[in-house]
A and B are shown apart, each in its own frame.
Chain A
Amino acid sequence: MSIVDLTSMGKSQTELRKEINGQLSKLQDEISDYCFQCAKCTAGCEAHKLLELEPHKMVALLKRGLIDEMVNSDIIWTCMSCFKCRERCPQRVAPVEILFALKNMAVVSGKQIPGKYTAMLQSILSIGLIQDVQEVTTRDNKTMKRDELGLPSLSKPCDPAKFQVGLTKIAVEKV
């Protein structure tokens, strides 16, 4: 089991791609019926103020079927997943969910995954958590470890091999 199975173009990924495509088509149908471009999502968007993400435009692009264009754009990775757009949409469209689907599509299409996502995924695959126990610093610059603070041992998957078998199925199963 390696990160490649979950993120790149193995045979199983064709199935996964098909499935995400299906999700996007379904979203596209729903949106075409409901979104009337009021832009309430963009008005509240946390990433809009700082990084110029405009959720209502993403919805409009999906409506027109410009999926590849969005999958290839960096803008989909600026969403902070604050869920304001999903919460406030008067028509119950959820731009944040569209963005998740688009990012999943970018990953399964073999696009480079930005930032620390790959490292975090790798860590989940090996120890079940996004990172292992860290040393921390106090305000007086003393370093401390988890056990030195009297905290019990870390809860993580007891049998990593069995845990990985479960995860492997995600790469093989349809989404």
Chain B
Amino acid sequence: MKKKYALYPGCLMPTEQYAYELSIRESLPLLDIELVDIDGFSCCGEPMKSVNRLLTLYLSARNLALAEKHKLDLFIPCAMCHLALSECRHILGNNPEMKKRINGMLASEELTYKGTGEIVHTVDLLHDLVGVETIKQRVKKPMKGIKLATHYGCHLIRPTEIGRPVDSEHPMKMEAILEALEAETVDYPEKLDCCGGILQINLPESALTKTGQKLKAVQEHGFDGFVDVCPWCHKMFDSRQSKAGETVAAKLDVPVFYLTQLLGLALGVKKEKLGLELNLSPVDKLEFG
């Protein structure tokens, strides 16, 4: 069944994490997902929560309202954006007074938040809506013999209270998707550890240490690769990997992929179309048929 979504790009993916966007645009249509581009989206507001929580709420509601205006559900590839918009739906759904206030502010852009649209992230879109069986049937180049570590990202798995697409303590949907591509996945103790991404804003050294600690453990466990689904996490684990290694006195050498890059490869998309040359970690270490 064909399903249509407005792609909500957020800030980080469309301004520098191009590999995620490229691989999403290449691989999802092969699974009968139609992506629509809407002009006018803004930041989700989550990075500004420390500065002003009302700003976060307002920006999230604004983006939800814009999608509602186009009568489209939202596909949100960034874990941080997905959290912000989920929380906004949760708060405004339970607080009519706040909803009224936000809508009063949204009027300047002729927008109204009603709460009618749905939102999905990459992981639940693939696992729950497309389904593991469908993915299995469409795989052209199975990834046999590759052992992968998954990283969901804190914002995707917590807090359960507002509704998250995966379990908070034992998330397994990425594993199921990767196994549909015939890759091997193994649980590891550091799986739920944070990438440190948010601290890039004010304590960049500490942020890199968090990244380095997790990647060092992944490397020591002997994984062939590391898979993530959030542009903030990927920026830390992939783009900043060598710097992160310096903070933990390790020579890090872990190939880091977006889930949609591996999905695209398994579905038979050419390497060049998935932005693999933009991954700064040594993804060439892995040979794909």
- Asked whether A175 lies within 8 Å of B52 as measured between CB atoms, the reply is yes
- In angstroms, Cα B168 to Cα A156, docked, is 32
Whether B223 sits at the interface, judged by CB under 8 Å, is no
Give complex CA distance A131, B209 in Å: 24
Write out the residue numbers on chain B whose beta carbons fall within 8 Å of the beta carbon of A51.
203, 206
A87 at the interface (CB under 8 A from B): yes
- Main secondary structure, interface of B, reads helix
Contact among A113, A133, A149, A166 for B108, CB-based, below 8 A: A166
Known: A120-B48, A121-B51, A166-B62. A155 touches B14 (CB 8 A): yes
Q: Does B47 contact A (CB under 8 A)?
A: yes
- Residues of B32-75 at the interface with A, using a CB-CB cut-off of 8 Å, are 37-43, 47-55, 58-59, 62
| Given A130-B11, A146-B14, A170-B55, CB of A104 within 8 Å of CB of B50 | yes
A136 contact set on B, CB distance < 8 A: 16, 18, 278
Name the one of A137, A138, A139, A158 contacting B39, with C-beta atoms under 8 angstroms: A158
A142 to B288, CA, bound (A): 23
* Residue contact A6 to B52, C-beta cutoff 8 Å: yes
Q: Is the CB of B55 within 8 A of A167?
A: yes
Assess the A107–B16 pair: CB atoms within 8 A: no
| A 93-119 contacts with B by CB, 8 A | 94, 100-101, 103-104, 107-108, 113-117
Taking the complex as formed, is A144 at the interface, i.e. its CB lies under 8 A from any CB of chain B? yes
In the complex, the answer to whether B42 meets A157 with C-beta atoms within 8 Å is: yes
Whether B286 sits at the interface, judged by CB under 8 Å, is no
With A83-B159, A175-B54 as known contacts, state yes or no: A117 contacts B202, CB within 8 Å.
Answer: yes
Q: How far is the CA of A166 from the CA of B63 in the complex (A)?
A: 13
Task: Given A133-B15, A155-B38, A166-B106, answer yes or no on A81-B154 (Cβ-Cβ < 8 Å).
Answer: yes
Please tell me which one of the listed residues A117, A124, A130, A149 contacts residue B22 in the complex, with CB atoms under 8 A apart: A149
- Kindly state whether residue B138 has any CB partner on chain A within 8 Å: no
List chain A positions with a Cβ less than 8 A from chain B. Answer: 6-7, 46, 50-51, 77-78, 80-84, 86-87, 94, 100-101, 103-104, 107-108, 113-117, 120-121, 124, 128-134, 136-140, 142, 144, 146, 149-152, 154-159, 162-163, 165-167, 169-170, 173, 175
Sorted from nearest, which 4 A-B pairs have the closest CB atoms? A115-B202, A128-B42, A83-B158, A82-B154
Other than the given A117-B202, A156-B42, 14 more pairs (CB < 8 A) read A6-B52, A80-B198, A83-B154, A87-B168, A103-B51, A117-B50, A120-B47, A120-B48, A130-B11, A138-B278, A146-B14, A155-B14, A158-B40, A173-B101
